[in-house]
Amino acid sequence: MASVIPASQVSIADLERRYGLREAPDANFFVEWHTGLGDLTELEKQYLDRVKGHFTRLLKSPPLLENSVKMVVLSPLLDMAGFYDDPFHIRSEVSVDVTAEDENEVIRGKIDVLVLKERLWILALEAKRSDFDVTVATGQALAYMLDNPEPDRASFAMISNGQNVLFLKLTQTPQPQYSNSRLFSLWNPGNDLYQVLQIMKTLGRVVMAAP
């Protein structure tokens, strides 16, 4: 979003104050993350089990490798969702450096941003600590979504630090408002990546649909 607010400093409070952004009060505002999701094949589930296994194995031997979120978790999900294939086209944005404080320790990381059809933003939060909270990137995601060149159409974002995934939806008319999914985590029993992939496929269909 055009240098109005430094990217590494943008917060939801800034966006509320400057653009009138509000959290959507309607529980049905963001149904795409839990309604009408297609089924996965057994082969897809088996592969997602491998993805979860690979990442949890890395978690046991910190610090994480550079770009581990993109390599181990995000890239397989993008592939399985079909986002590398026609008619999709992904472009990348400039990475954003971020810091956070935890018990007097400064944690440094970066946000790598991918854009799909100007309506689906995918943010990978890379840091040496895998528990770098995905909410660190929420303000940045919403700022990009507010800059959607098609403001009459909903935009979406997916934020991941590897072990956690959060989805966002934003509309701009008549007033900018947003909502989020529940937080998906690889620490949960079972495999939350099943639903993550289902949501990615659903959002892919939504953003590619004709106006």
DSSP characters over 173-186? SSS-EEEE-PPEET
Q: What pLDDT was estimated at residue 15? A: 87
Residue 96, φ and ψ in degrees, nearest 5: -115, 130
The pTM assigned to this predicted structure is 0.85
Instruction: Place 129 in a pLDDT band, splitting at 50, 70 and 90.
Output: low
CA distance 51 to 187: 13
Instruction: Place 145 in a pLDDT band, splitting at 50, 70 and 90.
Output: confident
Instruction: Round the average pLDDT of the chain to a whole number and report it.
Output: 82
100-115 average pLDDT score: 58
Q: What pLDDT was estimated at residue 72? A: 87
Q: What pLDDT was estimated at residue 126? A: 60
Amino acid at 5: I
Instruction: Place 16 in a pLDDT band, splitting at 50, 70 and 90.
Output: very high
Q: Which of 39-48, 94-103, 175-184 has the lowest mean pLDDT?
A: 94-103
The secondary structure element, H or E, covering residue 12 is helix 12-19
**For residues 157 and 140, which has the higher predicted lDDT (pLDDT)?**
157
Contact by Cβ (8 Å): 122, 200: no
Give the range with max mean pLDDT: 83-87, 100-104, 156-160, 197-201.
197-201
The secondary structure element, H or E, covering residue 101 is strand 96-102
Q: How far is CA 42 from CA 77, 80, 106, in A?
A: 15, 13, 42
Residue 124, φ and ψ in degrees, nearest 5: -105, 120
Q: What pLDDT was estimated at residue 21? A: 94
Tokens of 164: 């956690």
Q: Which of 19-23, 82-86, 87-91 has the lowest mean pLDDT?
A: 87-91
Other C-beta atoms closer than 10 Å to the C-beta of 210 total: 3
CA distance 207 to 188: 29
The secondary structure element, H or E, covering residue 126 is strand 120-127
CA distance 47 to 130: 22
Domain extents in the chain: 7-208
23-36 average pLDDT score: 95
Q: What pLDDT was estimated at residue 111? A: 66
Tell me which DSSP letter residue 135 carries.
G
Burial of residue 46 (number of CB atoms within 10 Å: 0-12, 13-18, 19+)? exposed
